[in-house]
Amino acid sequence: MKVTRLFDILYYQLRNRPIDVSIATKKDGSWKKISTQSLIDQVNQVSRGLLNYGINPQDRIALITSVNRSEWLIMDFAIQQIGAVSVPIYPTMSDDDLTFILNNSESKFCLVSDKKIYDKVHNIKDQCPNITSLFTFDEIEGALNWNKIKKKGEEISNQQEVENLKNSIEPDRWVTLIYTSGTTGRPKGVMLSHKNILTNVLDCHVRFVMENDEKFRILSILPICHILERMVDYVFMYKSYGIYFAEGMDKLASNFQEVKPDVILVVPRIVEKLYASIYNKGTSGGWLKKQIFLWALSVAKKFEPFKPASLSHKIADFLVFKKWREAVGNNLQLIICGSAALSENLCRIFNAAGLKISEGYGMTETSPVITVNGRTKDLFCLGTVGPLLNSCKVKIAEDGEILTKGSNVFLGYYKDEEKTREIYTDDGWLKTGDIGYIKDGFLKITDRKKEIFKTSGGKYIIPQITENNLKQSRFIGEAMVVGDGEKMPCALIQPDFEFILKYIKYKNLHMNTTISPEEIVKNKVIRERIMQDVEKVNKLLGKWEQIKKIELTPTVWSVESGELTPTLKLKRKYIKEKYINLYNKLYDR
């Protein structure tokens, strides 16, 4: 059958290769598995229930979940089938932004996962007059449960109405409204069609041709409201891979062992944290164990893809790298990475360890992928984000900005024609806001256009590359290079407080192991040790790019505290304003 709308994927899976575990969520200690047929039955039931509740085509329905779960995906497909529009929202949105999104989208229903989010939405509901009903996936006293929608759809008498609506939906129909978190300003509502997202699904699935994939399992880690995770989940469903929704970042280790996934999707910060954990474990044993581990890393840093493994590499694999693979279930064949730039060094190390990372690139407005590395030599190049997808076009503007066209490009910003016009060139190319170049058919990203800055001496600084190198230090959790209009580049650094406490104990430093973050950032020994790693990075930079001074922040940067977007990018303006006293100290003000 031909797949032209997103919900067609369900019926394609049923006809092509139905599976016993299409999706699964862990509940009360066990995985609750849903087969292809059961998934379709539940989706149709919810579609009928929504119609009986008075939902009409083009009505908006907001979905908010703290962790990925089956109910979210069932609702997603049920909404699609009747021509309504889903509005996925990050659970970490501030009350102010959440109120704005619910009102701007004119969402009629809102479905949330748990009590914490229920209370959050319930507290602002009076400010959102369009919300007529607030449902929950968990059973919560006093709250409407989503089972009421399912109950309304138990009677199949209006299934023909569902079928008629499905048949009336064209590929160009608006299907979802995704609000970009943004690093500044109000979130913008990105309107995507079935065709937009499905173009990506069909292009990406051929980029990852896997052998003997009949029983592949996926561990879904990134928030499903993230268009990258959502689109790739559609890819997995198209390929009939079973999707297991991870319980959360704190349960990843156990979920890896239970699910033993073949493929996962991550953002660079997850790779960085995984590497930090591996490094700490590898260097915290006895002297011999540490030396073997460090030697294996030195071998990995010389790795070249698709070349025969050297004897040293084979020994390193036997002694060290196979343990890395065991820690993630021992089946992992592919790690797809996107959303931000990944250090080439980390990508090389993981690929050397048999944990193949394929880095890609795109944006919400492109549904979201523009380029991605594949699995074969002609489609993979370390240090790049891969070749173009078949349906995408790219050209580089005179100032280095990446411009794109294709059927994956969005319908526009909801209720904002001015911003829609601004993101296009006069001749109709979408402006990505990223700087890069194409070499031998592979796209290389160098930085965000709006993040490049110039010092008072007229020298341009590209912060992201330096920041990625800084974060490879075990002592550094996050880093932001600053210095726009200033005499020199400096950096605000959030120390990795957890590692530093272990370091204090390991080195038998004369400090209390319960030392507070405030005391850590003031400690001369710790500051000097962090500066040593900064100087190592400086050796890789031109003289004008080198970090001259640093200041350490006494708090952890997070989505909840405002320094990071939900996709873990730096909110630069907010960070500078929050730590303005430290910033001024850098420049002796």
Assigned architecture for domain 452-586: 2-Layer Sandwich (3.30)
- 340 has pLDDT over 80: no
Mean pLDDT throughout 174-191?
Answer: 84
- 531 has pLDDT over 90: yes
Give residue 118's pLDDT: 97
Q: In this structure, are residues 180 and 364 in contact, taking their beta carbons and an 8 Å threshold?
A: yes
Tell whether the torsion through CA atoms of 320, 322, 326 and 327 is positive or negative.
positive
Mean pLDDT throughout 377-399?
Answer: 95
Strands in 17-104 per DSSP E: 23-27, 30-34, 60-64, 85-89
Strands 401-406 and 430-439: antiparallel
Q: Which of 502, 498, 446 is nearest to 477 (CA)?
A: 498
Q: Residue 180: what are its φ and ψ, rounded to 5°?
A: -70, 135
Give residue 513's pLDDT: 67
Tell me the pLDDT tens digit for each residue of 254-301.
999 999 999 999 988 889 888 988 988 898 878 999 999 999 999 999
Give residue 286's pLDDT: 85
Enter the tokens of residue 240.
């009939």
Give residue 576's pLDDT: 93
Amino acid at 336: I
> What is the widest separation between alpha-carbon atoms in the chain?
75
Give residue 465's pLDDT: 83
Give residue 456's pLDDT: 83
Amino acid at 174: W
Give residue 181's pLDDT: 67
Domain boundaries, the chain: 8-209, 263-277+331-448, 452-586
What percent of the chain lies above the pLDDT cut of 70?
Answer: 99
Whole-angstrom distance, CA of residue 470 vs CA of residue 491: 10
310: left (phi over 0), alpha (psi -120 to 50) or beta: beta
**H helices within 441-541, ranges in order?**
463-470, 497-506, 517-522, 524-538
Give residue 182's pLDDT: 55
509 CB-contact burial (10 Å; exposed 0-12 / middle 13-18 / buried 19+): middle
- 171 has pLDDT over 90: yes
Tell me the pLDDT tens digit for each residue of 235-249.
999 999 999 999 998
Give residue 240's pLDDT: 97
Give residue 186's pLDDT: 81
476 CB-contact burial (10 Å; exposed 0-12 / middle 13-18 / buried 19+): buried
In 10 A of CB 541, how many CB atoms?
16
Give residue 184's pLDDT: 53
3-class secondary structure, 169 = coil
What percent of the chain lies above the pLDDT cut of 90?
Answer: 77
Enter the tokens of residue 140.
């919560």
Mean pLDDT throughout 31-56?
Answer: 98
Strands 430-439 and 442-448: antiparallel
Tell me the pLDDT tens digit for each residue of 92-110.
888 988 999 999 999 999 9
Same CATH topology for 8-209 and 263-277+331-448: the answer is yes
Enter the tokens of residue 52.
């009986």
pTM for the full predicted model: 0.87
Which residue reads 């070249």 in tokens?
304
Q: Which residues of 177-209 are buried (b: 16+ CB within 10 A; e: fewer)?
A: bbbbbebeeebbbbbbbbbbbbbbbbbbeebbe
Q: From 3.30.565.10, 3.50.4.10, 3.40.50.12780, 3.10.20.30, which CATH number describes the 8-209 domain?
A: 3.40.50.12780
Which residue reads 């930090």 in tokens?
276
Whether the ω angle into residue 368 lies within 30 degrees of 0, i.e. cis, is yes
Confidence class of residue 512 from pLDDT cuts 50, 70 and 90?
Answer: confident
Mean pLDDT throughout 486-509?
Answer: 89
The DSSP code for 429 is: P
As a CATH number, domain 263-277+331-448 is 3.40.50.12780
Q: Which of 111, 99, 58 is nearest to 411 (CA)?
A: 58
Mean pLDDT throughout 558-573?
Answer: 86
Whole-angstrom distance, CA of residue 243 vs CA of residue 234: 10
In this predicted model, which residue has the larger pLDDT, 392 or 474?
392
Q: In this structure, are residues 299 and 373 in contact, taking their beta carbons and an 8 Å threshold?
A: no
In this predicted model, which residue has the larger pLDDT, 567 or 109?
109
Whole-angstrom distance, CA of residue 423 vs CA of residue 335: 31
Instruction: Report residue 243 CA to chain centroid gap.
Output: 17
Instruction: Report residue 506 CA to chain centroid gap.
Output: 34
On average, the pLDDT of the chain sits at 93
Whole-angstrom distance, CA of residue 474 vs CA of residue 472: 6
Strand partners, 24: 33, 244
Enter the tokens of residue 473.
């230090």
Q: Report the range of poorest mean pLDDT among 322-336, 459-473, 523-537.
A: 459-473
Give residue 27's pLDDT: 93
